[in-house]
C-alpha cells in the first residue's frame, strides 16, 4: 500500500509541501493504514491485491477543480480522489475517512472475489457498494474514541444512527447543495435505515435517496448495509460486553462472517440472499451458530430471503467459463454491435433463447447508458450515446475495440 504525495500533482515533489496537500497526504495515509490493518486481520492469509494492481495499492489525488466530490477504485491506478468547490468551500473526497475506506473496501472485495468485477449484474454491483460502506463502518470502529462516541450517541443501541452509520457526512453536505435528491438528509447514505429487499428489476432507475430505493447500486446497497448494521448490533448485544472493547470485538466477528459469506457466495442475480445464506453457513462453521438468530433477525427486518438458489458450499473465485453475448449497438447510437461477457451456462445458443441472466446483463448495460456511465469515445458516431444520462457523470464502464479480434467489447473501468 502506498499514498502518492498530492503535491506531485501541483508540480512539486514529496509530501513536504505545506497546508492542504500535506494534510491530504497525512490524512489518507492514516486512514489507509487503519483500514488495511483491519482487513488484513479478516481476509485469508496470503491474500494480495488484484494482480493488475501491482502488489501495492496507491492513492492518487486528482486536484483539478470541478471533478465532483467523489473517489473510485481502479485496478491499474488504485484509489483516485477528486474534489469540487461548493458554495465557496473546497470539498475533497481525500479528506473523508468514509470515502477512502469505502474505496478500499472495493479493493479488498476485488482481491478476494475478482470475478465480481465484471459480473454484469445489478445486485452484485449493489453488494460491492454495500461492502464499501460496511468497510467505512468497520474500519471507523477500530478507533477507540469513535467507538466511545458511538456508544454515547446511541446509548448503546448500535443499530441507531451514529457517526459511523452516517456515510459521507461532509460529501453529503456538498451534494445536497448541488443535487439534493441524490443524498440523504444528513449524509450520503445512512446504514441505519428501514429499506427492504425487492427484486431490483421492479425498481425505478432513480428515486430521491432519502425517500426510497432505486436500481442505482448506490441506492439499493442500503438494503444490505442496513441489515449488516443490525447484525453488528446483534453481535454486540449477544456478547454482553457493553463497552468500547465489546464493540471492537463485535466489529471483528461481524466482519469475519461477512467476509466468509462474500467469499463463498455463488454468482447469481439474487446476490443479497445468496450472501445472506452463506453468512449463516459461515456462522455455523466458525461459531457453531452462535449468531444465527442475530443474522436471521437482521435479514428478516430488511426482508432479505436467506434461502439460496444454489447448492451450499464454496464458490472458489477464479476464471469463469464466459461467452460473448452481442448487444445491438444501434440502440445506443453506435455503428457496430458490442459484446458483453456472460456465464456460458446462462446462454443457450442452440435454442437461440436468452436466459434470465443474459436478460439481466442487457438490463445492466441499459441502466448504465441511461445513467451516462458508459464511455464510448469515437465509437459514438451519431452522438446519441453522449446525449444519454447526466452531463459530467463519471464513466465506470467503457466500450473498447478488442486488439485481437477488432470487435467492440463492453468492460468495467472502475467502481466509484
Ligand atoms: Zn463505491
For ligand 1, the distance from its centroid to the CA atom of residue 135, given in whole angstroms, is 11
Which has more confidence, 84 or 311? 84
Q: What's the average model confidence in pLDDT over 139-164? A: 98
Question: Which residues are CB-contacts of 150 (< 8 A; sequence separation ≥ 6)?
Answer: 141, 158, 162, 163, 164, 247
For ligand 1, the distance from its centroid to the CA atom of residue 335, given in whole angstroms, is 32
For ligand 1, the distance from its centroid to the CA atom of residue 12, given in whole angstroms, is 30
CA nearest 59: which of 19, 103, 17, 22? Answer: 103
Question: Is the pLDDT reported for residue 180 higher than 70?
Answer: yes
Cell numbers at residue 94, please?
481525500
For ligand 1, the distance from its centroid to the CA atom of residue 132, given in whole angstroms, is 6
Q: What's the average model confidence in pLDDT over 171-192? A: 94
Please, where in the chain does CATH 1.10.390.10 lie? 115-301
Of the options 1.20.200.10, 1.20.210.10, 1.10.390.10, 3.40.630.30, the CATH number for the domain spanning 115-301: 1.10.390.10
For ligand 1, the distance from its centroid to the CA atom of residue 17, given in whole angstroms, is 30
pLDDT classification of 52: cutoffs 50, 70, 90: confident
Question: What integer best gives the mean pLDDT of the chain?
Answer: 88
Q: Could you tell me if residue 353 is left (phi over 0), alpha (psi between -120 and 50 degrees) or otherwise beta?
A: beta
Q: What's the average model confidence in pLDDT over 143-148? A: 98
Question: Is the pLDDT reported for residue 7 higher than 60?
Answer: no
For ligand 1, the distance from its centroid to the CA atom of residue 416, given in whole angstroms, is 4
Q: What's the average model confidence in pLDDT over 222-243? A: 97
- Please report the pLDDT score of residue 171 as a whole number: 94
For ligand 1, the distance from its centroid to the CA atom of residue 183, given in whole angstroms, is 14
pLDDT classification of 307: cutoffs 50, 70, 90: confident
Which has more confidence, 60 or 154? 154
Q: Which residues surround ligand 1, an ion (CB under 5 A)?
A: 129, 132, 415
For ligand 1, the distance from its centroid to the CA atom of residue 324, given in whole angstroms, is 27
Q: What percent of the chain has pLDDT over 90?
A: 70
For ligand 1, the distance from its centroid to the CA atom of residue 106, given in whole angstroms, is 7
Give, as one character, the DSSP assignment of residue 143. Answer: S
pLDDT classification of 355: cutoffs 50, 70, 90: confident
pLDDT classification of 11: cutoffs 50, 70, 90: very low
Question: Is the pLDDT reported for residue 139 higher than 70?
Answer: yes
Global pTM exceeds 0.95: no
- Please report the pLDDT score of residue 309 as a whole number: 59
Q: For the segment 184-212, what is each residue's pLDDT rounded down to a tens digit?
A: 999 999 999 999 999 999 999 999 999 99
For ligand 1, the distance from its centroid to the CA atom of residue 65, given in whole angstroms, is 21
- Please report the pLDDT score of residue 152 as a whole number: 98
Q: For the segment 377-402, what is each residue's pLDDT rounded down to a tens digit?
A: 877 666 666 556 666 678 999 999 98
Give, as one character, the DSSP assignment of residue 399. Answer: E
Task: Specify whether the CB–CB gap between 91 and 107 falls below 8 A.
Answer: no
- Please report the pLDDT score of residue 13 as a whole number: 39
- Please report the pLDDT score of residue 233 as a whole number: 98
For ligand 1, the distance from its centroid to the CA atom of residue 182, given in whole angstroms, is 14
For ligand 1, the distance from its centroid to the CA atom of residue 80, given in whole angstroms, is 12
Q: For the segment 242-282, what is each residue's pLDDT rounded down to a tens digit?
A: 999 999 999 999 999 999 999 999 988 999 999 999 999 99
From CA 84, how far away is CA 347, in angstroms rounded?
44
For ligand 1, the distance from its centroid to the CA atom of residue 127, given in whole angstroms, is 10
- Please return the burial class of 215, using the count of CB atoms within 10 Å of its CB with bins 0-12, 13-18 and 19+: buried
Question: Is the pLDDT reported for residue 354 higher than 90?
Answer: no
For ligand 1, the distance from its centroid to the CA atom of residue 185, given in whole angstroms, is 19
- Please report the pLDDT score of residue 101 as a whole number: 97
The label of the residue with cell 473546497 reads 90
- Please report the pLDDT score of residue 54 as a whole number: 74
For ligand 1, the distance from its centroid to the CA atom of residue 152, given in whole angstroms, is 29
The label of the residue with cell 456508544 reads 151
For ligand 1, the distance from its centroid to the CA atom of residue 131, given in whole angstroms, is 8
Amino acid at each position: 500500500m502506498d499514498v502518492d504525495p498530492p503535491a506531485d500533482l501541483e508540480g512539486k515533489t514529496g509530501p513536504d509541501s505545506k497546508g492542504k496537500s500535506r494534510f491530504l497526504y497525512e490524512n489518507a495515509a492514516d486512514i489507509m493504514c487503519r483500514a488495511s490493518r483491519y482487513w488484513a486481520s479478516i481476509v485469508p492469509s496470503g491474500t494480495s491485491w488484484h494482480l493488475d494492481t501491482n502488489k501495492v495499492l496507491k492513492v492518487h489525488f486528482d486536484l483539478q477543480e470541478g471533478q465532483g466530490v467523489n473517489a473510485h477504485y481502479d485496478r491499474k491506478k488504485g484509489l483516485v480522489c477528486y474534489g469540487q468547490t461548493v458554495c465557496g468551500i473546497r470539498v475533497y473526497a481525500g479528506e473523508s475517512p468514509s470515502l477512502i475506506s469505502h474505496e478500499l473496501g472495493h479493493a479488498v472485495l476485488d482481491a478476494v472475489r475478482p470475478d465480481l468485477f465484471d459480473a454484469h449484474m445489478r445486485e452484485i454491483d449493489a453488494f460491492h457498494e454495500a461492502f464499501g460502506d460496511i468497510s467505512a463502518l468497520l474500519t471507523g470502529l477500530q478507533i477507540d474514541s469513535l467507538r466511545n462516541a458511538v456508544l454515547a450517541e446511541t446509548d448503546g443501541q448500535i443499530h441507531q444512527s451514529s457517526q459511523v452509520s452516517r456515510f459521507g457526512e461532509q460529501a453529503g453536505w456538498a451534494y445536497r447543495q448541488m443535487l439534493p435528491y441524490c443524498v440523504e438528509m444528513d449524509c450520503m447514505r445512512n446504514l441505519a435505515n428501514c429499506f427492504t429487499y425487492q427484486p431490483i428489476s421492479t425498481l425505478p432507475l432513480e428515486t430521491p435517496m432519502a425517500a426510497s430505493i432505486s436500481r442505482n447500486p448506490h441506492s439499493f446497497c442500503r438494503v444490505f448495509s442496513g441489515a449488516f448494521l443490525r447484525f453488528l448490533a446483534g453481535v454486540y448485544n449477544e456478547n454482553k460486553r457493553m463497552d468500547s472493547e465489546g464493540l471492537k470485538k463485535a466489529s471483528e466477528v461481524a466482519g469475519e462472517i461477512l467476509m466468509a459469506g462474500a467469499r463463498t457466495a455463488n454468482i447469481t442475480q439474487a446476490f443479497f440472499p445468496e450472501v445472506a445464506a452463506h453468512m449463516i453457513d459461515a456462522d455455523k462453521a466458525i461459531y457453531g451458530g452462535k449468531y444465527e438468530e442475530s443474522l436471521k433477525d437482521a435479514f428478516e427486518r430488511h426482508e432479505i430471503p436467506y434461502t439460496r438458489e444454489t447448492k451450499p458450499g464454496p464458490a472458489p473465485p477464479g476464471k469463469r467459463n464466459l461467452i460473448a453475448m452481442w448487444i445491438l449497438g444501434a440502440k445506443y447510437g453506435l455503428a457496430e454491435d458490442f459484446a458483453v461477457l456472460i456465464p456460458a451456462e446462462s446462454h443457450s445458443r442452440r435454442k437461440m433463447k436468452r436466459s434470465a441472466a443474459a436478460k439481466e446483463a442487457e438490463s445492466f448495460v441499459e441502466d448504465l447508458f441511461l445513467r451516462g456511465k458508459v464511455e464510448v469515445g469515437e465509437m459514438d458516431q451519431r452522438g446519441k450515446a453522449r446525449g444519454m444520462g447526466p452531463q459530467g457523470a463519471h464513466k465506470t464502464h467503457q466500450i473498447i475495440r478488442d486488439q485481437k479480434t477488432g470487435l467492440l467489447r463492453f468492460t468495467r473501468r472502475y467502481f466509484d
